[in-house]
Structure 1
Amino acid sequence: MGKHLNTVPWDLVVMNTSIIIAVIVILIIVVGVVAYLTLVHHPATISSTTSSVETTSTSFTLTSTSTTISTSSTSTSSTTTTSSSTTSSTTITTTQSVTLPPGANMLPYNPNNKTVFIYLAVTATGPAFNYNGTSNGQMKIYVPAGWNVMIILTNEQSIPHNANIVLNDTQIPNNPNISADGKILLYVGDSPSNFANNGILSGQTAVGILDNISAGYYWIACGITGHAENGMWADLIVSNSVSVPYFIISSSSSSTSTTHSWG
């Protein structure tokens, strides 16, 4: 008799294979769940270092008397004429102790940019042609060489006026035209083309600045024809021996305005 081979039914093989695959899938799911739970309950610790930044604040004090500048605008151009209808305010406060000559008064200034602020008012009282109630060089202004000179001019009279820094070659103005007495370096309230007949009107203010002024002897003078010759000028002395800006009224009889003296 022939031998019969033992054969496994095909449906049994398929069933066993399915069971094995199911078991593998279940094991994978179980392993994944366990790993997830482990991460949730034991999160990784991130170590961070916080840097502390120390900020140092440096303060400084400006120099001279407490002063408020009120002008409609400030310009570094050589010619500026503005109306007093709109004003801005800048305050310079100073505490530095400086020994000044007898009778001298310190001018407001900013030591950080070496700028001196010269307030000029053409007053309605006192001499007809005046700055701060003084005339004919009674007011002498001293400024360190190399500084910036800012002039703030206000007109209270009914006729126009201006202010110009003149590197003069005569002791006093002796010509109706100030350009005949020296070189005009700064125009305030006028311009190179109209300084002899143009200025700011009553109630107006003009501002101008001359940078890095050299040592020498100057005037601050009104350029309108005949005004300086009739007394509307002040001395401006710029020197390497001056450490802070100040002014002196040379005559005790001068009628310097108390309400418009340097701000």
Structure 2
Amino acid sequence: MIRRLFSALLLASSFSIAQQPATPPAGHDAHAVDIPGLKKELFAGITEADFLKLSDKPKTVKVILIATYTAANYGMNFNGYAHGKAVFTIPKDWTVEVTFINPSPIPHSAIVVEKDQVKKLQMGAPYFDGAGVPKPEVGLAVSKAEFSFVADEEGEYAFACGFPAHAINGHWLALEVSADAKAPTLQLGDKPAVEAK
């Protein structure tokens, strides 16, 4: 009888522990509700319409990536989206000018990698020449950086955070380079794709 009672208590406590929410990734425990130290002035006035815009230069598009834009995914997001839930489509051979903003004191970065790379702990080198901030594995805190690259090869890529273990935990957005695309577009979540203006 005591053995059955002990087994029942052990099973009940195991079930209770299993029902507890998952622990956020290291360094992001405060991001579940609020993001302490966030310098919102770094992205003040930037809206969804600014995330993808045509440049004055021919076949050139401007992309803004803001790390920790919201508390979604414990702050590991770009422009409020994670796990590839926003999709940038760029016509092949266009130049992409990226402004990366990290208003958080926690280091983040931005780098373009093949889509399958996001399953790895470390991102390695950018897929396209110049397609990332300097030292993406170190990251930047409370700062801005710019980089540009030519999307000269069709395929499925990602704008990923190059800080170790961030991309594998969802800190990436989809980037498709297509020879069929006539203009750059951005699809945010379930919303229809919008053409850059």
Q: Which TM bucket (shorter chain)?
A: 0.5 to 0.7
1:111/1:241 CA distance change after superposition, 3 Å: farther
* Counterparts of residues 63-78 of structure 1 (less than 5 Å): none
Q: 1:190 aligns with which of 134, 138, 142?
A: 134
> 2:112 is paired with a residue of what secondary structure?
strand
> 1:247 is paired with a residue of what secondary structure?
strand
- From the CA coordinates, give the structure whose radius of gyration is larger: 1
Judging by fraction of residues, say which structure has more helix: 2
Identity across aligned pairs (percent)? 24
Counterpart position of 2:73: 127
Report deviation, 1:113: 2.5
Task: Give the gaps of 5 or more residues in structure 1.
Answer: 1-86, 88-104, 253-261
Deviation string 1:222-249 (CA, Å, 9 cap, x unpaired) is: 1110000001001100111111111002
Report deviation, 1:106: 8.9
1:188/1:249 CA distance change after superposition, 3 Å: same
Counterpart position of 1:12: none
Deviation string 1:44-77 (CA, Å, 9 cap, x unpaired) is: xxxxxxxxxxxxxxxxxxxxxxxxxxxxxxxxxx
Deviation string 1:82-115 (CA, Å, 9 cap, x unpaired) is: xxxxx9xxxxxxxxxxxxxxxxx99311364211
The aligned length equals 142
Q: 1:215 aligns with which of 149, 154, 159?
A: 154
Letter in structure 1 aligned against 2:141: L
Mapped pair 1:114 → 2:59:
yes
> 2-side partners of 1:187 and 1:178: how far apart?
12
Mapped pair 1:200 → 2:146:
no
Counterpart position of 1:238: 177
Report deviation, 1:190: 2.4
> 2-side partners of 1:127 and 1:240: how far apart?
32
* Partners of 2:89 and 2:175 within 8 A in 1: yes
* Counterparts of residues 1-263 of structure 1 (less than 5 Å): 107-110=52-55, 112-122=57-67, 123-128=69-74, 129-168=76-115, 170=116, 173-179=118-124, 184-185=127-128, 186-191=130-135, 195-196=136-137, 198-202=138-142, 204-251=143-190
Letter in structure 2 aligned against 1:113: P
Letter in structure 1 aligned against 2:127: I
Letter in structure 2 aligned against 1:249: L
> 1-side partners of 2:112 and 2:161: how far apart?
9
1:147/1:183 CA distance change after superposition, 3 Å: same
> 2-side partners of 1:227 and 1:173: how far apart?
9
Letter in structure 2 aligned against 1:125: A
Report deviation, 1:183: 5.6
1:245/1:111 CA distance change after superposition, 3 Å: farther
> 2-side partners of 1:212 and 1:250: how far apart?
23
1:150/1:183 CA distance change after superposition, 3 Å: closer
Task: Give the gaps of 5 or more residues in structure 2.
Answer: 1-41, 43-49
* Partners of 1:124 and 1:156 within 8 A in 2: no
> 1-side partners of 2:107 and 2:150: how far apart?
26
Task: Give the TM-score normalised by the residue count of structure 2.
Answer: 0.64
